[in-house]
């Protein structure tokens, strides 16, 4: 299996992103609508239709006036209604009784080289639905079911307010939030790393890093000092309950291959003075259903990610 290799350059990059999620009634026990604000990938505000309250995190709350957050709360209530109308138009085109999800993800990113990215896009049931083309000021329907939205939004001037926010207000807000929350955002927590195998006959060796912040981290493998470009399954980064992150990569080679060659897992993160290098020969074997901290950390991360699904943090990514 050939994988895409990601080379991480740790530049001074900042991002502001808002994510909305709405669910059909089949998802009992969860709010119908949630909105999350993320600054550099860290949650700074949360809104739920359950209590109709917008709650900013303490570390960012005083960056804006009480009136600002109150206005944002009222705006989210309106966004909830608009989002439900969009959801109804889309799901009515599917003749089934399954549960459905609609998500919106929009925001801006800015790095120290002055490069700015702006985007506004929707996903339905985990797949791309429709996105805004800022160059033309029109919408691109990815799915046929989104054509009704494209026609309506392109013909009614719906895009003007969206463009104004992305091209002006978004960067201003990003700079304000980053300047105020710099101490929190600049914190660097190094990863705790572990290597394990479920049992000695398993063809999979897991390299697991957890507890790190910021989110950007790279895990790679080497064989006899050379990069391994295949037989690797690199998983998505998951959130931990304390605001840090975790990530894992799985090496899939035979036991004979592991014995014949020297394999290592290499972890890169901005908090580290030098890369972490873990020899596969020192991996732990989880025999007879045994467990370890690394495996438990993965389970916890998956649980947090499932909660994050409902919060709109992790379901669908561009």
Using CA atoms, how far apart are residues 95 and 5, in angstroms rounded to an integer?
Answer: 40
| pLDDT over 50 (residue 295) | no
Tokens representing 226 are 């050379």
62/125 same-domain check: yes
| pLDDT over 60 (residue 158) | yes
* Structural domain range at position 72: 14-185
Q: Are 53 and 47 in contact (CB under 8 A)?
A: yes
71/38 same-domain check: yes
**Mean pLDDT throughout 193-211?**
89
Question: Crossing angle, helix 66-91 and helix 147-156, to 10 degrees?
Answer: 130
- Residue 32 is assigned to a structural domain of this protein: yes
**Nearest Cα residue to 199 out of 301, 283, 297, 294:** 283
**Nearest Cα residue to 106 out of 94, 95, 117:** 117
- What integer pLDDT is reported at residue 53 of this predicted model? 95
Pairing mode of beta strands 284-285, 192-197: parallel
Tell me how far the alpha carbon of residue 260 is from its chain's centroid.
Answer: 38
| pLDDT over 70 (residue 217) | yes
Distances (CA, A) of 188 to 184, 259, 273: 9, 36, 12
| pLDDT tens digits for range 66-114 | 999 999 999 999 999 999 999 999 988 877 777 889 999 999 998 766 7
- For the chain, give the mean pLDDT: 84
* Pick from 215-229, 273-287, 303-317: least confident: 303-317
- What integer pLDDT is reported at residue 304 of this predicted model? 43
pLDDT tier at 2, thresholds 50, 70, 90 = very low
User: Is this model's pTM higher than 0.85 or not?
Assistant: no
| pLDDT tens digits for range 160-176 | 889 999 999 999 999 99
Using CA atoms, how far apart are residues 209 and 238, in angstroms rounded to an integer?
Answer: 10
- What integer pLDDT is reported at residue 149 of this predicted model? 94
Tell me how far the alpha carbon of residue 181 is from its chain's centroid.
Answer: 20
Of 166, 185, 204, the last residue of a domain is 185
If one compares 213 and 200, the residue with the highest pLDDT of the two is: 213
- Residue 2 is assigned to a structural domain of this protein: no
| pLDDT tens digits for range 186-200 | 889 999 999 999 876
Helix (H) and strand (E) counts in the chain: 8, 18
- What integer pLDDT is reported at residue 24 of this predicted model? 80
Of 164, 185, 206, the last residue of a domain is 185
- Residue 77 is assigned to a structural domain of this protein: yes
176/241 same-domain check: no
Using CA atoms, how far apart are residues 21 and 102, in angstroms rounded to an integer?
Answer: 6
Of 154, 185, 216, the last residue of a domain is 185
């Amino acid at each position: 299996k050939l994988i895409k290799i990601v080379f991480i350059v740790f530049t001074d990059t900042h991002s502001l992103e808002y994510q909305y999620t709405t669910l059909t009634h089949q998802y009992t026990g969860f709010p119908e609508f949630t909105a999350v604000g993320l600054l550099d990938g860290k949650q700074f505000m949360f809104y739920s239709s359950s209590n109709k309250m917008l709650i900013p995190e303490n570390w960012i709350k005083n960056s804006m006036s009480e009136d600002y957050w109150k206005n944002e709360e009222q705006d989210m209530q309106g966004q909830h209604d608009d989002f439900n109308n969009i959801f109804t138009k889309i799901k009515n085109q599917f003749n089934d009784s399954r549960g459905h999800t609609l998500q919106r993800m929009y925001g801006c990113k800015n790095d120290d080289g002055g490069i700015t990215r702006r985007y506004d896009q929707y996903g339905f049931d985990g797949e791309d639905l429709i996105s805004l083309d800022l160059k033309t000021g029109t919408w691109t329907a990815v799915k046929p079911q989104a054509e009704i939205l494209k026609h309506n939004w392109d013909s009614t001037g719906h895009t003007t307010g969206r463009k104004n926010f992305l091209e002006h207000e978004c960067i201003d807000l990003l700079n304000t939030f980053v300047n105020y929350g710099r101490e929190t955002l600049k914190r660097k927590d190094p990863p705790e790393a572990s290597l394990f195998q479920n049992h000695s006959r398993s063809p999979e060796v897991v390299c697991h890093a957890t507890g790190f912040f910021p989110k950007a981290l790279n895990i790679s493998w080497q064989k006899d000092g050379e990069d391994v470009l295949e037989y690797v399954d690199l998983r998505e980064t998951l959130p931990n309950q304390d605001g840090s992150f975790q990530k894992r990569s799985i090496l899939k080679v035979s036991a004979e291959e592991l014995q014949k060659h020297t394999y290592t897992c290499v972890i890169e993160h901005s908090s580290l003075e030098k890369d972490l290098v873990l020899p596969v020969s020192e991996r732990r074997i989880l025999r007879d259903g045994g467990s370890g901290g690394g495996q438990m950390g993965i389970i916890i991360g998956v649980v947090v990610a499932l909660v994050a699904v409902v919060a709109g943090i992790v379901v669908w990514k561009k």
